[in-house]
Structure formats: structure tokens, C-alpha cells
Amino acid sequence: MKIGVALRELYDSESALAGELLRLADRHAKEQEIHHVAQDLVRWSREHVREIVAAGPRYGLDLGNPDLENPEPPTEEAGEIPGEDSGPELLLLADLRRLYRMAAGVSLDWDLLGQGAQVVADPDLLALTKRCHPQSLRQMKWADAMLKTVSPQILAS
Amino acid sequence: MPSKDRIAEPWGSRTPYGPGQGWPTRVDSHLAEGVTPDQVDRWVQSATILHSNGDGLDIAVKDGQIVGVRGREVDRVNHGRLGPKDLYGWQANHSPDRLTRPLVRRGGELVETDWDTAMDLVVRRSKELLDEQGPSALGFYTSGQLFLEEYYTLAAIGHGALGTNHMDGNTRLCTATAAAALKESFGCDGQPGSYTDIDHADVIALYGHNMAETQTVLWTRVLDRLAGPNPPELLCVDPRPTPVAREAAVHLAPLPGTNVALMNGILHEIIRRDMVDHDYVDAHTVGYEELAKRVADYTPEHVADICDVPAERIREAAELLGNAERLMSTVLQGFYQSHQATAASVQVNNIHLVRGMLGKPGAGILQMNGQPTAQNTRECGADGDLTGFRNWSNDKHIEDLAAVWNLDPMRIPHYAPPTHAMQIMRYAEKGSIQFLWISATNPAVSLPELERIRSLLAQQGLFLVVQDIFMSETAELADVVLPAATWGEKTGTFTNADRTVHLSDKAVDPPGEARSDLDIFLDYARRMDFRDKDGEPFPQWHDPESAFEAWKRASAGQLCDYTGLTHEKLRGSGGVQWPCNDENPDGTERLYADGRFWAEPDQCESYGRDLVTGAPLEPTEYKAMNPEGRAIIKAAEYLPPHEKPDGEYPFALITGRTLYHFHTRTKTGRSPQLQKAAPDVWVEISPDDAREAGVSEGDHVEVASPRGVIRARARINEIRSGVLFVPFHYGYWDTVTDEEAGRRDRAANETTVTDWDPVSKQPLFKTSAARLRLVGSGGGVPAPAPTTTASRPVGAGTTETTGGPGAASEERLGGGTR
């Protein structure tokens, strides 16, 4: 059974998403809506990570207590960050694009876990995916919506 | 006729009435000292402009000057009554410091010039920027105080001729959440209820709505019901001891920023006790199950912890609402300008939907407006909406609007939501908006975090045009100042918070070379030589009446249908509620009486947004959720406010208005009786907090937030502990500012946070953290705050607020009803 693998994958991707949301809020503090809403949305990812940690032992997984106030920066994504010299506007677009992709990845991971929960007939795990998956989708849609809203002005000016 | 000091008695005499009866008439009037009614040359029809109630009045004219006002007995809104701001505010029209000539900046100074010179500058800069960057370099920030014809023209110029997405009104600060909440629940803007619901209701719930001060005449209607047989019971949600709270059967004073938790707690009880109209819910709504699931955790005890309101009070509120047979609800800034604004306001709609309280007399929702013509800003599309409640993400609606305007649909920006005011300011700050035209509003005092706003408006790279009637704090920063005519000096129509359309006729000429806003916008269009698809000058209209006729075509078939109205039909009338068309020639008292909504996917103004993230729903998502166009019950989780009181800033700071002033006092501060009633800024503090801070009534204190500091005198009143209140009216035009020290320490917005509701984009003026410090003794002199209002002091010894002989007003009690 590889449910544990899927749980660990989600643990990693949700933690990374939480870190990315915080980083976005911090990097674009003067874009007030992004700054505030990103911090609101971190709450969901933190809660998801806590739930994943709680579900871990049933699948032989001890994920410990993650430090979600000061998460590690997402190492594998770091290479995609454009140089600081590309200007704050293009940086904003790049950050929102990356957030979208990360949230989409998390969403997919919840899909996978949901499939797994069904095949092993674990109602608690299935309920967990049903609680968390919609919020990942909302995080993804938010990134998309912000990108659509702010990009025309950046591209035109 | 009995004379009343209407400063001392803002709501005048009682004319009690019972449920289902007509509200008796009472004709209020005030004329300049020494003028008697028989000396008045003529009475000119209009309506009130210094609040959102839309009371019909006649303007008294003598020797070409306004000399007073009189309420219109035939008007459906006020039955002859007027409020203090209406009785005395007209005097500002002939204030000696009105702007009378255009001004342009030369060598750093604003100097007088002629219209050609000023408009040529505006046109030249517009054309340069259109060439360099295109329409995205130009932005417009307008008002909630112009007339319908003016907004429609501005919308056509901005969204149509120029094709910029950057247009909003200061309605963003007052009614954006009203519009957003209506769109979320009913698919479209438009108030379901009517003021006449007060005549029938058995329970009236006021959410963050100090009606007694924001809409004095509407409150008079409530007071008359309270004084009559079988009076309604009131629920008040407000952290301040407002006159509404004093009359309420249940008063909830939650911590600022916790409204969603409170509403979820009330809904939890209503659902737990099954006070739900399941037939209505099943037949007319979607989303009930989600709501029931969402509020399941919000027990009164849990909510009590979040809101710091006793659990028992929450149960009492639910009991009151759940047992009402005719429930009327109104909502205003306590919800709209607070954290999770739209999510909280939508829960008020949800209470009506789950209780089936919609469309019958007494069962109405009024998501209130804060300004006299805010409804028109929204319906005409001079804000972040599209003309005629069209849906920016529905291509068919864009094609339809383009056909009305006879323009190419590609010219109308609809790739993203129209840019809201705070984002317009951000683009100006970053330099991608280089031309900003501000009409009839004063952001240098009214927007949050003023130090930032002043500096971005003063930037070298920003070409700032300000169109106003006085040299406001914003006009002082302009490159071009255009002198405008105001109410009483031009003809047009406007619509109040219960969809009542009034005509306001021109009574007198504007001063000097001042011109109506409509004339200024049309002059700009002609000089820019805008053309429609047939090469005809655009806009295709030229005066108020032709603008109104053009607007009727834009509104035809929409919810806000004006096709049954003309200026002539409104002249002499007592106001008509839209939709007014062939089917409803006398207007429409209540929307959605048949349980049918303007929410079908092809019809709705908005597909809605995520109440937490603010992300717009895709058309496909909306169609899947609501294929039949039912009312939408939308649930929301509570999120803690972004700026919470802490050790350094232990208070929650809220700002707001007082009965005697409007906005930044450009008019009310120039009306002697109103100015005297509330002459300077104050801060309200609870007795416990005052004791702890060593502050006595009238002491000089400093209020500081992470953004800035203001100094004010302390008023100790019954505001809930932990909360400070500062009125937002006081800027700098009538104070001495020490330019060398750059000391600007009077405007409440020096301290407020830049943050807005992600759904409605309304700035949050009611969730900043602040600290308070005693600066010096007031020597026993009380704070310059009224005693007649929410700012009534605790304890005795304060001189009562009066207007003196100059405030004597007439009251004619007709006793008749209509």
C-alpha cells in the first residue's frame, strides 16, 4: 500500500504552498490585496498539514511537528524565481504563476489521495480529502484571478 | 406654525402611527433669517443631497438666490420631512469661497485661467498618453453626489470612448459592499425592499447602521412607528451607543471585525431551532445545505468568545429574528467598512432567504447606500460596474452595451473586473496611471492612510485634474482645477437607496464661470473629438434631458429599467421607484415579490465571487451552481481581522460619521448651524478605558496607529470597552496646518489601514489597531462632540447641543396620510 507515500507527498506540497503564500505576502507587501489574502490562505494550508500529520500514524508515518510559522522556502521551485533585476511587476506575475502551479499540484495530490482513500475504504481519510481539496482549488483559482486582474496593466504599461 | 430648533431636536415632532397605516405628513421648512414664505419668488423641485435617503424638497428662490428649503408633502420618501443637514446645508451653495474660475498649475502655483486654456491642457495630456501608453494610462475617480445624467456620460466616455478600465466612484467607500452583497445573493444589484416596509414590519434589524444619524428622516419614520400602537421591535448590531441601540429590544456590540462570526451564530440558532421556511428555501434558493453545514460549528458560546458578546444575547437576537412575521433589515458601514464586509452582509440576506422574508410588505432588505446618488454611480457604470447592471464577464452583455453606444465592442474593456478605487490609487502610485481625473470627491481626506495618498497624488508624474465646487485638500494638489456647479444650479435626476428616482431642477445660476459636471464631461468629449461607428460625435447627447433619454435606452430591459420615466413625468411627482416601464408604469415597490430573481446565467450582473478569496466565479461554475437563476445562499467562514489590537496598539479604532456633517464637511462645515453643532474632531472612549488612561471628558489626547497620529479631545461615552471612535469628517481646509512641521493631525484617516474586502473591494475603516495617550487637560471643557447622538457623554454637566435662534425651523403637522 502506498497511501503513506501519497500522504508524505501532500505533506511536502502543502508545506511548500504555505511557505510560498507567506513569501508572496512578504515580497508584495504593497500589493495590499495580495498581501492580506495570501496570509488568509496560509491558514488553510497550515490546517491541512496539521490534518495530514494527524492521519499519518494510521499509515505508518510520523511526520513530526512542522514549523509552519517559519516554513522552509521551496527548494525545488527556487530555480524558477526570476532575478530581482527583472523588476517588481514581472516578479509579481512570475510569483502568481508559480503559486498557481503549486496550488494546482496540491490539488492534484488531494485527488490522488482521495482515490487512495476510496480504494482502501478509509472513510476518515476520504472525509479529510473532501474537506481540504476544495480549499486547494480555491487557492489555485485565487492565484489565477489575481493574475488575470493585475496582468493587463503590467503588460500595457 | 410651531418652530423647532432642529439642531437640538434632529428628528422633530412625533406623528405616531400603527402597522399598515399610512405615515402622517409633516412639512418641515427653514428659510433664511428675515425671509417669509410669501416673499419667496418661486419653489423649485429637488431632493436632498447630503445623505442617501432621497427626501423630496423644494428649493426657495428669491432674487436669484437660494433662500431656504421646504419638504415635499407629496413625496413618498419623506412625506414632507427634512433632516438638519437639509434644513441648513443649502447655505454652502453661496459660500464666498466657491470656485468660480478654472485654475492651472504654473511654476508650482495654481493660478486662474479660462476654460479653453484649462481644457486644452486636459485634452493635450490625454492625447499624449493615449499615444504613448493607451487608455490604461488614464483613470477616473468620481463621486456619489453627481446626477444620473452625469455618471452615464462619464461612463460612456471612460468605458466607451476612451476604453479605460480604470473608473470608480467614492461609492467604493460607502456602497460597494451593498452592491456586492446583492449580486452575491440575488445575481444583480438593486434593493429588494422599500422604505414603506417600515410601515408594516414587526421586527426591524439594523446591522452596523446608525440610521438615526445617517438617514434622519427614515429614523423619524421608525420613531413614529415606535410611538404608535403595536410598535416593531428593533435589533441593533453596533459597538457604539447609538440612538438606534437605545431603542433596541436587543443590542449586540461585537468586537470590530467579527461580524461574520456573529451572523453565523445567529444563523446557527435559527437553523438549529428550525425557524426556517423550507418551502421557500426549496422553491427559490440554492445553497441551503452548505449554509447549514457551515454554521453548525458556530454555537452561541463559540461565537460569544470571538465577538465578546454574551451567548444569551445571540440567542435573543435569533429568537427575535426567527419569530418575526414581517422582518425588515438594513445594513450599512458597520458591516460594509469592516473585515469580511461582503461575507457578513450576505448573511443578512441569508436570514431573509431562509425565513422566506422577501417581497411582502414589511419583509424587505435594504443594503443601504451612504450617499445621495450612489445608486446611480452603480447603475450607470461610473464605478467598478458596467452600465445598466451589465456583466463584464458576459460577452453578450458587452455586445449589447456596444450596440447601445454604437461603438465597437472591442473598445469596451472587459478582460478583467473594472479597476476599483484603491487599485487605481496603487497604479497611480506605481506610475502606470499618469492621468487621474477626480470629480466631486476628496480622497486627500477620505481615503485610508493619508500620508500615502497625499504623496501619490502629489507625484510629479501624475497629471491630476480635480473638478469640485471648493478648493478641497485634493484640489490643492491638482494640475488643473475645474469649477463645478452643484445641486440647485443644474438639472438632473438621482435615485436613493430604495430605488426612488427624483428630479432635481435648476433653481439658480452657478457662481462665476462654474459649469455643471455634465457640461464639463461633454465639453471634454467634444474637444477629444470622440466618434461613434457612424462617425457621429460621441456621446450622442448634449444636455440633461437628452442624456436621460439616452440612459433610458441603456437601461431598457435591465432590472434598473427607466424606460417609463421622463423628466416631465418626475416633475411634480413624489418620486418613482424603478423598474418603471410599460409593465410597471408607476414604478415597482418591491423586487422579487414572486420569488423570481435576476439571477439566470444569461441575465445576472455577476457570477459572484469566492467570499474569502474574492476570486470571480467562472461562467461555467455559476451555471452549474445556479442554472435556474434562483437566489443564492452563500455561506462563509469567519477569519480573524488582519490587524488586531495587541500590546502596543491595544484598541480597535473605528471611524464614522456624525449626524450634522457629511463627508469632509465641504458643505456642512460651511453651514453655520451644522458647523457649530460639531465644530471639531473628537475621539470616543469608554468610561473604563478612560479611567485606565487617566483621561477625563474633554482632555487632549493622541491616537496613534502604525500609520500615523491624530490629536483630538476625548469624549467619554458608552462605546464598548476596547474600541475608539473618531469621526472622519475633519480635514485641513479650515485649520491652520503648520507646513514647516508638516503637521497634519486631525483627519481620522491619518491612522487607518490600507486594506479592503476582497469581494467588494471596499476599504476597511473599522478594523485598525491604535493606542491612546493623554496629552493634556481640557480644563473641564467638554469635547466638541454633539450630545444628541451616539456621542452623548456619560454623566451630567455637558452643555446640550443646540442651534440657537438661527436654527429655528418650521414644522407643519398635516395629520393627513398619503
Provide the number of CB pairs (under 8 Å) joining chain A to chain B.
67
**Is-contact B504 B493, C-beta < 8 A?**
yes
Structure ipTM: 0.94
Q: How far apart are CA B67 and CA B204, in angstroms?
A: 38
| Residue B361 and residue B132 in contact, taking contact as beta carbons nearer than 8 Å | no
Mean pLDDT across chain B, nearest whole number?
A: 96
Is the pLDDT score of A83 beyond 70?
no
Q: Is B619 on the interface with A (CB under 8 A)?
A: no
Report pLDDT for B640.
96
So what's the pLDDT on residue A63?
85
pLDDT band, very low/low/confident/very high, at A74 (cuts 50, 70, 90) = low
Using DSSP, state whether A49 is helix, strand or coil.
Answer: helix
CB B761 within 8 A of CB B342: no
Using a CB–CB cutoff of 8 Å, tell me whether B165 touches chain A. Answer: yes
Q: How far apart are the first and last CA of chain A?
A: 54
Is it the case that residue B604 has pLDDT exceeding 80? Answer: yes
CB atoms within 10 A of CB B675: 18
Q: What is the mean pLDDT of chain A?
A: 90
Residue of chain B whose alpha carbon sits nearest to that of A40: B639
Q: What is the pTM for the complete model shown?
A: 0.96
Of B416, B423, B613, which is closest to A37 when you measure between CB atoms? B613
User: To 10 degrees, the CA torsion angle through B788, B791, B797, B798?
Assistant: -70
Candidates 3.40.50.740, 3.40.50.2300, 1.10.3720.10, 3.40.470.10; CATH matching B103-174+372-577 = 3.40.50.740
Q: How far apart are CA B355 and CA B327, in angstroms?
A: 9
A40 to chain B: which residues are within 8 Å by CB? Answer: 612-613, 639, 642
Q: Distance between CA B65 and CA B93 in Å, rounded?
A: 9
Q: Is the Cβ of B131 closer than 8 Å to some Cβ of chain A?
A: no
The residue-averaged pLDDT of B611-621 equals 97
pLDDT of residue B501: 98
**In which band, very low, low, confident or very high, does the pLDDT at B2 lie, cut at 50, 70 and 90?**
confident
Q: Which of A139, A146, A153 sits opposite B427 (nearest CB)?
A: A153
Distance of CA A49 to the CA centre of its chain: 10
Which of B136, B639, B755 lies closest to A153 in CB terms? Answer: B136
pLDDT at B741: 56
Task: Give B454-513 as a DSSP string.
Answer: HHHHT-TT-EEEEEESS--TTGGG-SEEEEB--TTSS-EEEE-TT-EEEEE---SPPSTT
Q: To 5 degrees, how large is the angle CA A123–CA A129–CA A134? A: 140
Mean pLDDT for the stretch of residues B644-649: 96
Q: Is B136–A41 a contact, with Cβ atoms under 8 angstroms apart?
A: no
- Any idea which of B501-505, B573-577, B769-773, B804-808 has the lowest mean pLDDT? B804-808
Weakest mean pLDDT among A65-69, B71-75, B154-158, B783-787: A65-69
User: pLDDT of B12-54, one tens digit each?
Assistant: 999 999 999 999 999 999 999 999 999 999 999 999 999 999 9
Banded pLDDT at B742 (limits 50, 70, 90): low
Domain limits, chain B:
3-94+807-817, 103-174+372-577, 176-368+610-632, 651-786
| Residue range B177-188, pLDDT digits in tens | 999 999 999 999
Q: Which of residues 641-660 of B touch A (CB under 8 A)?
A: 642
The percent helix, strand, coil of chain A (3-state, each to 5) is 80, 0, 20
**pLDDT category of residue A79 using cuts at 50, 70 and 90:** very low
Which of B749, B660, B92 is CA-nearest to residue B474? B749
Q: Does B596 touch chain A (CB under 8 A)?
A: no
Tell me if chain A has a CB within 8 Å of the CB of B342: no
Superfamily for the B176-368+610-632 domain: Dimethylsulfoxide Reductase, domain 2 (3.40.228.10)
Within an 8 Å CB–CB cutoff, is residue B639 touching chain A?
yes
Which chain A residues have a beta carbon less than 8 Å from that of B616?
Answer: 145
| Spatial contact of B784 and B233, defined as CB atoms under 8 Å apart | no
Question: CA B688, CA B691: separation in Å to the nearest integer?
Answer: 5
Q: pLDDT tens digits, residue range B413-441? A: 999 999 999 999 999 999 999 999 999 99
Which of A24, A30, A35, A36 is the best substitution to test chain B (most B C-beta atoms within 10 A)?
A36
Q: Which of B133, B426, B612 sits opposite A40 (nearest CB)?
A: B612
Q: Residue B615: which of A145, A156, A157 has the nearest Cβ?
A: A145
Is there a contact between A157 and B758 if contact means CB atoms under 8 Å apart? no
Cβ within 8 Å, pair A149-B416: yes
Residues of chain A with Cβ-Cβ distance to B422 below 8 Å are 32
Helix (H, G, I), strand (E, B) or coil at B562: coil
Domains of chain A: 3-66+85-156 (1.20.1260.10)
Burial of B302 (0-12, 13-18, 19+ CB in 10 A): middle
Contact call for residues B97 and B471 (beta carbons, < 8 A): yes
- pLDDT of A66 > 80? The answer is no
CATH fold label, B651-786: Barwin-like endoglucanases (2.40.40)
Residues of B in contact with A152 (CB under 8 A): 136, 165, 415-416
Can you give the pLDDT at residue B739? Answer: 62
Q: What is the pLDDT of residue B158?
A: 98
Nearest beta carbon to residue A157 from set B415, B432, B755 = B432
- Cβ distance A32 to B754 less than 8 Å, yes or no, reads yes
- Please check the confidence at residue A82 and state whether its pLDDT lies above 60: no
pLDDT over threshold 60, residue B294: yes
- Asked if residue B322 has pLDDT above 60, the reply is yes
Distance CA A33, CA B422 (A): 10
Is the Cβ pair A152, B136 closer than 8 Å? yes
Which pLDDT score, from 0 to 100, does residue A72 have?
A: 58
Alpha carbon B733 to its chain's center = 23
Give me the mean pLDDT over the B195-217 stretch: 98
Q: What is the distance in angstroms between the Cα of A128 and the nearest Cα belonging to chain B?
A: 15
Q: Compute the half-sphere exposure of residue B135: CA atoms within 13 Å on the CB side of its CA.
A: 18
The CA distance from A48 to A29, in Å, is 25
Give the other-Cβ count within 10 Å of B646's Cβ.
9
A136 SS3 class: helix
pLDDT higher at B370 or B8? B8
- pLDDT tens per residue across span B67-113: 999 999 999 999 999 999 999 999 999 999 999 999 999 999 999 99
Backbone angles phi, psi at B24, to 5 degrees: -60, 155
Range B3-94+807-817 classified under CATH 2.20.25.90 = yes
B660/B789 Cα distance (integer angstroms)? 10
Cβ-based neighbour number of residue B676 at 10 Å: 18
